[in-house]
A and B are shown apart, each in its own frame.
Chain A
Amino acid sequence: MEPRPRSFYVLSAFFGLYVLFLYGPTITIGILSFQGPSGGLTFPMNGVSLNWFHELFKQQAVGDIWGSFSRSLRLGLMVMVTTVVVSVMGGLAFRKRFAGSGALFYLAIAGLVIPSILVSLGVGLFFSQAGIPVHWATSGFGAQLTWTLPFGLLVMFAVFNRFNPAYEEAARDQGASPWQTVRHVVLPIILPSLLGVALFGFTLSYDEFARTLLTSGSKNTLPLEIYGMTTNVTTPVIFALGTLTTLFSFVIIGLFLLTAWVLNRRRSRHGSDAGKGMV
């Protein structure tokens, strides 16, 4: 292999600093959440304790953290499943040009670029004028989809741009119906990408703040709860909560990556039947 140019080392250092910039603050609050009972929001550490994590589990200390966590979790799963199903259908639809497909594409892009607070305000006003009460599982759910669906659709575009139509043609030549082609050929091939769409769907919903602000009704989601805490909680308990939800996100991301890795390995082991003779 040719030797590394000097620019490699400069750029490696730059990349290292960028990663430090990305993770440094998160690690800082991770450490500070173990602050002693008399410690404050900054260093130095006044001893080391689990005090602030204990505080989280006391009912009266802070708002309805566990209720909001459970709502955010359920909402995230709802958005995740809907995003995967609707994006795949949308992605399949866009593979062939149909009347109005251009306009629909621009509408989806609009979902990405329209400021989140407009979606929140608009959905909130629409529901109140129509006399429908806002609720995280109806208006909040829909408001989040205006952002996750276009995102999922863009991922599907990227997937189908790289999709080799020869597989489908082969299936069709062997007499597969359109549904069989999708079910047994297309879906298995794009499955790993669907994990990506699912991960985006879940995390974008789980962390969404602006779009749920005016659409979630009287029950908060977790980001709304955390935001409320920033204005009236001045103890490291907020760091403890931040550390816990970040860890939770890491676990979710880890699960997705692990599944993708296992799928890829299984595919490389079972994918080809070359040399095994006629079936």
Chain B
Amino acid sequence: MDRILKSNNLTGWLLAAPLVLVLVVFLVIPVIVIVIVSFWQTTEFSIVPAFDLGNYEFLFGSAVTYDVFLNTFKYAFLTWAFTLGIGFTVAYFLAFHIRSQTTQIALALICTVPFWTSNIIRMISWVPFLGRNGLANSALLSMGVVDHPLDWLLFSDFAVILAFVHINTIFMVIPILNTMMRIDKSLIEAARDAGASGAQILWNVIIPLTKPGIMIGTIFVLTLVMGDFITVRFMSGSQSANVGRLISNDIGLLQYPSASATSVVLLLTVLVVVGGLMRVVDIRKEL
């Protein structure tokens, strides 16, 4: 009895039991249900069990699907590029240019506070800024940059990317800052003593050492953008689509089997992307 109690396996599983329970009931089983329902058929009033590949045939046979997936990748790539550029610069500034730890914490908190507020409100907040009569257009008109209001500021791909970057840059800032803070400052001094320029230090010392943080940020940003449906719907004014919107439209029409089939394909896509990234970085070690 004593031996069993002291065994790592038993205490480990007992402590992890609530986590396992929640993940099995609300993640594993639901995903299995989605996979099963993706083979079902839709009648006028309900969904009926079947083994029908029709949902997938329709999905892969439709040109819309490829467009929408392409669009999803486009959003993911552009958002990734901008959040990485901005997030890296902000983290670099906080890690290497701020000398007092208190200021560092305070500035990092300033970046994080909006993350703790509502994303939907933050999207709505862009309307008076980007609208036809919004602040951006008034400013551009009064400066004489344009002679008529720009229509593409709101309800466009531009607005979608802007909102994605606005909401998700924090997912780059924090992991990158976390890895940068662990860089041994003597490595940088050694590089400087050896005659490296600032740019060389950045490129040959800091960036390679920051890669794990960049990878973790990348995983967050890519999966959040690829799985999004609400930002695209709201910021594009329903004019653009990504895979998430395809799924949510089917759900709105009660076409659950079709929504499930699209979900399975989206899930596999996301898992392939994340699987590839996780080969490069050991998340547990880097936290």
Contact = CB atoms under 8 A, between A and B. Distances in A.
A126 B23 contact: no
Contact of B223 (A11, A19, A113, A214): A113
B135 A43 contact: yes
A198 B99 CA distance: 29
B90 A246 contact: no
Given A23-B114, A117-B229, A11 B97 contact: yes
B260 A230 contact: no
A146 to B, nearest CB: 5
Given A118-B266, A209-B119, A245-B118, A146 B27 contact: yes
A200 B116 CA distance: 7
Nearest to B23: A107
B223 A115 contact: yes
Interface in B75-119: 86, 89-90, 92-94, 97, 99, 107, 109-111, 113-119
A203 interface: yes
A153 B267 CA distance: 22
Contacts of A100: 13
Interface string B246-282: 0110010000100110010011001100100010000
Contact of A249 (B30, B118, B247, B287): B118
B15 interface: yes
Contacts of B28: 107
B11 to A, nearest CB: 7
Interface in A1-48: 1, 4-5, 7-8, 11-12, 14-15, 18-19, 21-26, 28-29, 32, 41-43
A178 to B, nearest CB: 8
A18 B109 CA distance: 13
A115 B93 contact: no
Contacts of B120: 207, 209, 223, 226-227, 230
B155 interface: no
Interface string A235-279: 000110010011001101100010000000000000000000000
A223 to B, nearest CB: 6
A221 B260 CA distance: 25
B24 to A, nearest CB: 8
A158 interface: yes
Contacts of A139: 26
B247 A230 contact: no
B40 to A, nearest CB: 10
A122 interface: yes
Contacts, number: 264
A151 to B, nearest CB: 10
A204 to B, nearest CB: 8
A93 B13 CA distance: 7
Contact of B247 (A18, A93, A121, A252): A121
B16 A104 contact: yes
Nearest to A203: B116
A217 to B, nearest CB: 15
Nearest to A153: B19
Nearest to B219: A113
Interface stretch (B31-39, B63-71, B203-211): B31-39
B284 interface: yes
B210 to A, nearest CB: 16
B74 interface: no
B128 A28 contact: yes
A126 B30 contact: yes
A207 B9 contact: no
B12 A96 contact: yes
B124 to A, nearest CB: 6
Interface in A71-118: 85-87, 89-90, 92-94, 96-101, 104-105, 107-118
A189 to B, nearest CB: 17
Given A25-B122, A89-B16, A117 B247 contact: yes
Interface of B: 8-9, 11-20, 22-23, 25-31, 33-34, 37, 86, 89-90, 92-94, 97, 99, 107, 109-111, 113-122, 124-129, 131, 133-135, 138, 166, 169, 178, 198, 219-220, 223, 226-230, 234, 244, 247-248, 251, 256, 259-260, 263, 266-267, 270-271, 274, 278, 283-285, 287
Interface of A: 1, 4-5, 7-8, 11-12, 14-15, 18-19, 21-26, 28-29, 32, 41-43, 85-87, 89-90, 92-94, 96-101, 104-105, 107-119, 121-123, 125-126, 129, 139, 142-143, 145-146, 149, 153-154, 157-158, 161, 199-200, 203, 206-207, 209-210, 214, 223, 226-227, 230, 238-239, 242, 245-246, 249-250, 252-253, 257
18 contacts: A7-B198, A14-B93, A22-B110, A22-B166, A23-B114, A25-B125, A98-B16, A101-B12, A107-B28, A110-B271, A123-B26, A123-B30, A146-B27, A223-B120, A226-B121, A226-B124, A227-B230, A253-B116
Cβ-closest 7 pairs across A and B? A115-B227, A122-B30, A98-B12, A25-B125, A93-B15, A142-B26, A158-B287
